[in-house]
Structure 1
Amino acid sequence: MSEIEFGLDTFGGVTTDADGRSLPHPQVIRDLVDDAVVADQAGLDFFGIGEHHRPDFAVSSPEMVLSAVAAKTERIRLGSTVTVLSSDDPVRVFERFATLDAVSGGRAEIVAGRGSFIESFPLFGYDLQDYEVLFEEKLELLAALLKEEPVTWQGSTRAALTDQRVYPTTERGLRAWVGVGGSPDSVVRTARHGLGLFLAIIGGPAARFAPYVDLFERAQDQFGVERQPVAVHSPGLVAETDEKARALVHDGWVAMRTRMGQERGWPPPAVGDFEREIESGALYVGSPETVARKIAATLQVLKVDRFDFKYDQPVQHADHQRSIELYGEKVVPMVKDMIA
């Protein structure tokens, strides 16, 4: 990458109607396709969709939705954020994204990761006790498949391959990343396999991730691999004013944090947590000027090649689309001016 890219990604979170009722999954999925069209028209570089298998997220097959997006867009790159590799088959992952790459004219990317949730493990018959070995072995195989040469591989999590070719082939190869939440071991593993590093910054100041970017560079040098790009993503929403943006996001953010806390044993959000995450944490909520200043500050402390705005706050679809427009047409140009 010769300059910083600016993208969007979404977990396919269920949105609401004017009365606050959750929209059905089919409508949410159709809306995501429309969002990507707006992002393409706004000049953004990337649109990513995450894989989940639970009721509050609509997308379990990002590649299918991205194929629909490919048919309606012209230039924006398309990828998963993330593909839950631990509970998938690397051969099938490569085949699906190579197919997406073909129908999109070479715009497909893979972001492989462990995933934010564990529902896919029992759903597809995997034991959580194998959490580490599943990801390690499957990432190793995926990295080999990405070279598009005959693969010989053996492990404990799937059948071995001997001098095996996988199809379809691509025209220019697939760009691939590993989604990492902040584990040094994961950063080093990503460097060893020669893949891009995709850092999920969902809480706290961005500066605390600078050591991971430095570690990634050092590890690549030690492994003697070609330097790969680094991306970050953080959640947020852009509106015409700071007050409007905060009002739109506040209740849904508190409800989401409370729900996640109950599932994972976190304490409920305290008074002032929402405001602190906006002012000094990883929540990019506000007017175009406010969000642009915060993104520019992040890019000044982190040496990254792409910033992705995770825009799927639990609001109405019209608010999402307006946020995408403001991000592409106002925020990104301002950030480019600031960092220049």
Structure 2
Amino acid sequence: MVKLGISTFGETTPLEKTGQAVSHAERIWNLVEEIELADQVGLDVYAIGEHHREDFAVSAPEIVLAAGAVNTKQIRLSSAVTVLSSIDPVRVYQQYATIDALSNGRAEIMAGRGSFVESFPLFGYDLNDYEELFDEKLDMLLAIKNDTLLNWTGRHTQSVANRPVYPRAIQKDFPIKIATGGNPVSTQKIAELGLPIVYAIIGGNPRYFKPLVEMYRKIGRLKGHDRTKMTVEAHSWGWIAEDKDKAERDYFYPTKQLVDAISKDRPFWKPLTYDAYLKSVGEDGAMFVGDPDTVANKIIRVVEELGLDSFMLHLPVGSMPHEDTLKAIRLYGEQVAPKVRSYFAGQK
């Protein structure tokens, strides 16, 4: 059965009604309430990303996830992503093993290279080592996962001689997933390791990812990896309201605020026009915006076409009023998710 969840970066862009952004502190408090509601309405996973810039509130997702673990019962708690290249893998494992204890076995790590690179100079890393840092630190993290006693010779990391790493995760096969924006080389590396993959589908037609998924699974088969452990997941931007037209109108402003802010730092991003936005929320676009039936039908189509095991709706992109976000989460859990699950249950 396909798993359905939410991803977020804890965005803090100006609200349309006031022109003011909520404080980082308020957004972090709101995230804990959103996690708890997502659990109550039966969603499968809540994932929070790491950033180090003004328009995102969360630089330490593991702390917010730990707060969310205490009053939830079923929902899995993940990063989205942990920027592994600029953090100590020992601390990453220890932090998420602690969340695993607080949640009684519901923690996951989603690691990534970091499409936002503010953390590199902040923590003293050289961007020229971008690929090497990630590859070495991922190998180190996997070594920590597989054995309590760490023996490690590092080049960009510390060397460790037969030292134990505690606490240990409750889950025997603790989930470590790798996120990518759709780079073929990244897909190949992840497949060769036999690790779960998570695609960030935030532009273009989601169907364009199908050859990557097929390549990932083919390499996994050739390497003899366990198919059940090589799951394919995706996350896409989206918003849900009771009325389709209202959802599309309301979601444009916060999405434009975020896209335009990012485009100032990235020459290959352009300020968002309304025509481009409408194309993205259309049938072949990468945004999942509308009433519950519209969003459910689009999720079903993409999950089926790509053969996804899990789908996360990034909700919202840019800041929306907290009460509206809670309504969207409730619609997702109570109306969208049941329709999607019922469809795939009928395919068995």
What is residue 315 of structure 1 aligned with on the other side?
320
State the shift of 1:258 in Å.
Answer: 2.0
Q: Normalized against structure 2, the TM-score is what?
A: 0.93
Report the Cα distance in structure 2 between the residues aligned to 1:169 and 1:148, rounded to whole angstroms: 10
- Secondary structure of 2:265's aligned partner: helix
Q: Is the Cα contact below 8 Å between 1:9 and 1:310 reproduced in 2?
A: yes
Counterpart check, 1:305 vs 2:309:
yes
State the shift of 1:222 in Å.
Answer: 2.3
- Secondary structure of 2:295's aligned partner: helix
Report the Cα distance in structure 2 between the residues aligned to 1:171 and 1:257, rounded to whole angstroms: 39
Q: Is the Cα contact below 8 Å between 2:70 and 2:103 reproduced in 1?
A: yes
Report the Cα distance in structure 2 between the residues aligned to 1:204 and 1:48, rounded to whole angstroms: 23
User: Where in structure 1 are there 5+ consecutive unaligned residues?
Assistant: none
Q: Deviations over 1:288-307 (max 9, x none)?
A: 01111111110111111101
Q: How does 1:253-268 map to 2 (within 5 A)?
A: 253-265=255-267, 266-268=269-271
Report the Cα distance in structure 2 between the residues aligned to 1:117 and 1:226, rounded to whole angstroms: 32
Q: How does 1:62-141 map to 2 (within 5 A)?
A: 62-141=61-140
- Secondary structure of 1:79's aligned partner: strand
- Secondary structure of 2:226's aligned partner: coil
What is residue 180 of structure 1 aligned with on the other side?
180
Q: Normalized against structure 1, the TM-score is what?
A: 0.96
- Secondary structure of 1:209's aligned partner: helix
For 2:281, which of 266, 278, 282 is the aligned residue? 278
User: Where in structure 2 are there 5+ consecutive unaligned residues?
Assistant: none
State the shift of 1:335 in Å.
Answer: 1.6
Report the Cα distance in structure 1 between the residues aligned to 2:162 and 2:222, rounded to whole angstroms: 29
Task: Using the TM superposition, name which of 46-55 and 144-153 deviates more.
Answer: 144-153
What is residue 24 of structure 2 aligned with on the other side?
25
Distance of aligned partners of 1:191 and 1:146 in 2 relative to their CA distance in 1, 3 Å threshold: farther
- Identity level (%): 42
Report the Cα distance in structure 2 between the residues aligned to 1:161 and 1:218, rounded to whole angstroms: 36
Pairs aligned (count)? 338
- Secondary structure of 1:272's aligned partner: helix
State the shift of 1:271 in Å.
Answer: 4.4
State the shift of 1:149 in Å.
Answer: 4.3
Counterpart check, 1:14 vs 2:17:
no
Counterpart check, 1:338 vs 2:340:
no
Report the Cα distance in structure 2 between the residues aligned to 1:51 and 1:71, rounded to whole angstroms: 21
Report the Cα distance in structure 2 between the residues aligned to 1:187 and 1:258, rounded to whole angstroms: 29
Task: Using the TM superposition, name which of 251-260 and 56-65 deviates more.
Answer: 251-260
Distance of aligned partners of 1:257 and 1:15 in 2 relative to their CA distance in 1, 3 Å threshold: closer
State the shift of 1:16 in Å.
Answer: 5.3
- Secondary structure of 2:162's aligned partner: strand
